[in-house]
Amino acid sequence: MANTFKLKTKANITNDTLNTVYTVPGSTTAIVLGLNLCNKSGSEINANVQVVSDTSDTETNATVLLLDEVPIPNSATLEVLSGQKVVLQATDVLKVQSSANTALDAALSIMEIT
């Protein structure tokens, strides 16, 4: 098994839909090590982070929110999942949404296990 550290980024996240930041490739498990959300605007915004999981092994997984309308002050960065780990399985998707169009950037640190 190979372990590969990666950084996935998404700039100018929109407010009209949840934006895909990362989709786990087939035959891969990913460990989320951290997620940074940066508010580039001049006013406070809210952020949502969602995991879409269609994995079915011993149980049925569902789509869940990790953040729901969490405020981020203007010109600030929110470190999400600091010290916590989230395991994503093949085809799982991590998505982010901003309350203000193009005001949010995301940087996702992961380790892929193949």
Contact (CB, 8 A) for 50 and 66: yes
Summarize the confidence of residues 57-64 as an average pLDDT. 79
**Confidence tier at 91 by pLDDT (50, 70, 90):** very high
Q: What is the pLDDT of residues 36-58, one digit of tens each?
A: 999 999 999 999 999 999 876 66
What's 69's domain CATH number? 2.60.120
Q: What is the pLDDT of residues 6-28, one digit of tens each?
A: 999 999 999 999 999 999 999 99
Residue with tokens 């989709």: 23
Looking at the 3D structure of the chain, how many domains does it have?
1
Domain of 44 in residue numbering reads as 3-113
pLDDT at 89 > cutoff 90: yes
pLDDT at 78 > cutoff 80: yes
Beta bridge partners of 81: none
* % of the chain residues with pLDDT over 90: 88
